[in-house]
Amino acid sequence: MKQLRTIRIILALLFLASSVAAILLGPAAYPVTRIARGSQVLLCSLGASAGASVVWLLLTLMFGRIYCATVCPAGTFSDIFIRLRQAVPRLRRKSAYTPARRVRYHILLLYALCALAGLTAVTLVLEPWNMMTDIVGAASPIVAASQWKAAGLGAVTGMTVGILMAVILAILAAMRGREFCTSVCPLGTAFGMLSEYAIYHIEINPDKCTSCGQCEEECRASCIKTVSRHIDNSRCVRCLDCVARCPEGAIRFQPNRNRPATPLMRRVKTTSKT
């Protein structure tokens, strides 16, 4: 399972590097950048990314939000700032469970309405691939100008938005982990609704767990509640850090739900009245 986490990190960095190259140089520059661009789900132009969307729909129903763990450049951008903070012992942040925020559904609805109404500016700011393009555009007037051309705006607006996006995403990641992914991103919310029903789940084995709390402290999505051994799989971004951190090997990425082996801990079924 630890190797799976290493593969995830390598894939995420490769996709981030090729996404930046695709945005800066165009997908024709290197064949690998076409893969990065073609793997994205673009909610505002589903027609253009229909094939990728169907593939990710099926993969999410199978494994949960692995798109958020590997392919999304905005997710990996956030992860870099989470890691940078964790690398400084004095600044290390201990995560703690937070309840899911309903605002994510309102943002998804608002996003869908804006996309239907043709309000391009909203999709240019909230969609992960467009966000990454904005961030890269902060350093490239050509990218910024072509990105905001459709909204009738120019390079200065694009670069200003790009700088703001980069700063907001970096600060949010350093302060609150993947809060943007669990409470704001419309694509993440849509994936989360499917992820809840995914076949593969991150699960705590209650027979092995000692309630040490280390997984909860590690979770960048603040979705592990060790006191009840519950994981909110709609917010879990499948980073697999908790699996690597658990000293008891009690967390697994697995297809089945756990049931306590100790009979006294099982719910007693009442079948007939006495």
- Token duo for residue 75: 């997710």
> How many angstroms separate the CA atoms of 233 and 255, rounded?
13
Residues 214-273 that bind ligand SF4 (CB under 6 A): 214-215, 218-221, 223-224, 226, 231, 236-242, 246, 248, 250-251
| Comparison of 29 and 96: residue with beta carbon closer to ligand SF4 | 96
Amino acid identity of residue 122, one-letter, is V
Minimum distance between the CB of residue 274 and ligand SF4, rounded to whole angstroms?
38
Minimum distance between the CB of residue 230 and ligand SF4, rounded to whole angstroms?
10
75 counts as binding ligand SF4 under rule CB under 6 A: yes
Minimum distance between the CB of residue 180 and ligand SF4, rounded to whole angstroms?
6
178-217 footprint of ligand SF4 as x/- string (CB under 6 A): ---x---x-xx-------------x-x----xxxxxxx--
Residues 127-156 that bind ligand SF4 (CB under 6 A): 128
- Token duo for residue 153: 């705006």
Could you tell me which residues come within 8 angstroms of residue 27 by beta carbon, excluding any fewer than 6 positions away?
33, 34, 37, 38
* Angle made by CA atoms 9, 202, 85, in degrees to the nearest 5: 45
Q: Is 271 exposed, middle or buried (0-12, 13-18, 19+ CB in 10 A)?
A: exposed
The length of the chain in residues reads: 274
Could you tell me which residues come within 8 angstroms of residue 218 by beta carbon, excluding any fewer than 6 positions away?
95, 241, 242, 245
| Comparison of 163 and 244: residue with beta carbon closer to ligand SF4 | 244
Pick from 16, 20, 42, 72: which binds ligand SF4 (CB under 6 A)? 72
> How many angstroms separate the CA atoms of 247 and 258, rounded?
18
- Token duo for residue 117: 């109404």
What is the contact surface with ligand SF4 in residues (CB under 6 A)?
Answer: 68, 72, 74-75, 128, 181, 185, 187-188, 202, 204, 209-215, 218-221, 223-224, 226, 231, 236-242, 246, 248, 250-251
